[in-house]
Amino acid sequence: MTIFFTLSGYLITGIIRREVEQTGGFSYRRFYRNRALRLLPALVAVLAVFAVVELATNLAGQAQRVWSTIAIGLLYLADVPRLPIADNMSHLWTLAVEEQFYLVWPTALLLAIRRGRVRRLLIWGGSLWLVSCLALLAVVPEGPLHLYQLPTTWVITMLAGAALNLYRDRLPAAGPWAATAAGLALGGMCFLPEAKEQAATYLVGAPLTGLASAVLISFAIRRAAVSGGLVPLRWLGLISYAAYLWNFPVLSWLVASMDNDPWAALLSLPATVAMATLSWFAIERPALAWKRRLDHRHQHTALVGRSAAVDGPPVPSSEHEPRLGLPAG
């Protein structure tokens, strides 16, 4: 999970940084429009199927929470404690964390870039994360476990991705040994389910997993630049968002329909890939094509505007140029 947060911080920082470097400015309207076109179509499709299945069959026993789940999912509030979201859609909390980060990070990063205080921004961001974690550990009566899905808990991992993007030209590329160690560290966390109940998981584990994720991302970028990337991995990247959306509800429906048969978990993998592939071709790819057309139109308009500013107003031709009236005689 943390690797996706770190990758999200890396990518979103790259989008902001690239636009500032290429145009000297930043369009909030285009940024949030593009985020919506990338994320909302697939999410709406999953929520629609979830509503139909649960209202028609109550297969996972979540019919009473259908409408609240749709509202929570579309408003990206699944990381807010005690909201009535369906159990098989509770994984949407990670999307909520990312979207809430997107609300704050563009403005903070733009101000830091313009004032030359990017490093200070990262330091302050990490400090605020630490203070918030300590404060929540002190005031949340249920204990550390309830920090797991809170909005601020995993910000440090997204800051790690942002730092990797901002300083990638100065940092040494991660080698295979470093990537292997980082992968083993992240994999080991998956076998520590009780770690969620320990404060050290958030105060120490979160920044360390963010660092390990950054190492893996750095290595993957280097390998992709050298080899052009592997086709299966590129394909997995295309459908990964939809696969994440579909996996949990598909698994819950298979488990319920197969009476908790162990084969349900295995069958959920090809079923998830099938739904994610359908989502990519039928929903996400058309939405991205529309996004590219809008971006092209924006770039064309900006180019025309810059040309007009450089060349000045058009000069009228002689046949349309107004004549100066000279006094007779």
In which domain, by residue range, is 157 found? 2-229
Residue 130 in domain: yes
**Measuring CA to CA, which residue among 260, 264, 160, 258 is closest to residue 215?**
160
Higher pLDDT, 71 or 23: 71
Ramachandran sector of residue 245 (left: φ over 0; alpha: ψ -120 to 50; beta: rest): alpha
Q: How far apart are CA 278 and CA 276, in angstroms?
A: 5
SS3 267: helix
Average pLDDT over residues 217-242: 74
Question: Which pLDDT score, from 0 to 100, does residue 303 have?
Answer: 55
Closest by CA to 152, choosing from 204, 100, 108, is: 100
Is the confidence at residue 150, as pLDDT, over 50? yes
Question: Which stretch of DSSP H or E encloses residue 189?
Answer: helix 176-189
Q: Is the pLDDT reported for residue 319 higher than 50?
A: no
**pLDDT for 109 beyond 80:** yes
Exposure string of 113-130, with b = 16+ CB inside 10 Å and e = fewer, is beeeebeebbeebbeebe
Contact 245, 251 (CB under 8 A): no
pLDDT at 57 over 90: yes
Residue 3: predicted pLDDT? 85
The amino acid that residue 83 corresponds to is: L
Least confident of 87-96, 170-179, 305-314: 305-314
Q: What phi, psi does 258 have (nearest 5°)? A: -105, 15
How many percent of the chain have pLDDT more than 70? Answer: 84
Least confidently predicted of 16-25, 256-265, 316-325 = 316-325
Whole-angstrom distance, CA of residue 237 vs CA of residue 188? 23
Instruction: Band the pLDDT of 220: cuts 50, 70, 90.
Output: confident
Give a yes or no: residue 298 inside a domain: no
Q: How many CB atoms lie within 10 A of CB 184?
A: 11
328 band by pLDDT with thresholds 50, 70 and 90 = very low
Eight-state DSSP code of residue 175? -
AA identity, residue 63: A
pLDDT-derived band at 320 (thresholds 50, 70, 90) equals: very low
Q: How far apart are CA 69 and CA 51, in angstroms?
A: 9
Cα torsion 316, 296, 115, 214 to 10°: value is -160
Residue 92 lies in a domain: yes
> Looking at the domain assignment, is residue 129 inside a domain?
yes
Exposure string (b/e) for 213-233, b if CB count within 10 Å is 16 or more? bbbbbbbbbebeeeeeeeeee
| 235 is a domain residue | no
For 277, the 3-state DSSP assignment is helix
* Confidence (pLDDT) at 194: 63
Average pLDDT of span 298-304: 60
**pLDDT above 60 for 326:** no
Considering the chain, what percentage of its residues have pLDDT values greater than 90?
Answer: 58
Q: What is the mean pLDDT of residues 230-242?
A: 75
* Average pLDDT of the residues of the chain: 85
pLDDT value, residue 142: 66
Residue pair 246/270 in contact (Cβ under 8 Å)? The answer is no
DSSP structural state of residue 80? S
Residue 177 falls inside a structural domain = yes
Total structural domains within the chain = 1
Cα–Cα dist 74/54, whole Å: 18
Nearest to 285 by CA among 7, 44, 38: 38
Integer Cα distance of 105 and 40 in angstroms: 20
Does residue 141 fall inside a structural domain? yes
Q: Is 238 inside a domain boundary? A: no
